[in-house]
Homo-oligomer: A and B are copies of this chain.
């Protein structure tokens, strides 16, 4: 009754995150069938809310009773309790939003409210697709490059310019030396780039020549270049050490910046916190 590393747990996970932790923690000490359950469930978390025991069982290729044992080992009283967790967490953050959005969009084609509904939807889709497509390796490596930079040079014009100015603002707030290349006075910005600096270049199709040229120049001077762009095939792709891609869902001819800005601020904050720990 007092097994040190027992499978049995007294408390059920209270959130999806806890659920995943429990899954990882127990995975090693589970017998074959239960591990099959764990594997299938872990890879199909979103199904749990709408599946039955036997559907899950046949998905994992085990008998239903194995699924029951699996639920209990995780700390739930049974399948019903486990499913409850997933059903509830589905609605968090989903109050009357979808209804309001429908209302907005329905308020007359071309009306400002209808437009707003569409852009909100596009923004949301962009964020969701970003969540599903981040390249974590690239992101980590981008942080790594920028952490070591003396000064970060930010380049991006036209549609990318708001992202540049936002990054410059955020970096400044966190006391990180940056230089925003804004093209004022058409001065030649190349001489500001010094050994030990890094460049963060931002451009989207149709790619701005100035941005690409500056990135190229930085590269030639031996500065590491991080690219924030829309496709891996972008001209920045060949030039840069690390490429972060982000795809914005457009509405009509217009493309917003929700996902791009989310990625940009994450990058900035990650760099800042990594610097802090570096200096401690």
Contacts and interface: CB of A to CB of B under 8 A. Distances in A.
A273 to B, nearest CB: 6
Interface in A115-165: 115-121, 123-125, 127-128, 130-132, 134, 136, 139-140, 142-143, 158-159, 161-163, 165
A26 interface: no
A100 B240 CA distance: 27
Contacts of A266: 112, 115-116, 118-119
Contacts of A89: 98
Contact of A131 (B46, B49, B104, B261): B104
A147 to B, nearest CB: 11
Interface residues of A, number: 78
B131 A257 contact: no
Given A112-B143, A119-B265, A49 B50 contact: yes
Contacts of A131: 97, 100-101, 104, 116-117, 120
B106 A134 contact: no
Contacts of A94: 46
B269 A96 contact: no
B139 A113 contact: yes
Interface in A90-107: 90-91, 93-102, 104-107
Given A100-B131, A270-B112, A261 B261 contact: yes
A256 interface: yes
9 contacts: A20-B106, A46-B96, A93-B128, A117-B131, A123-B259, A162-B261, A256-B261, A256-B262, A261-B261
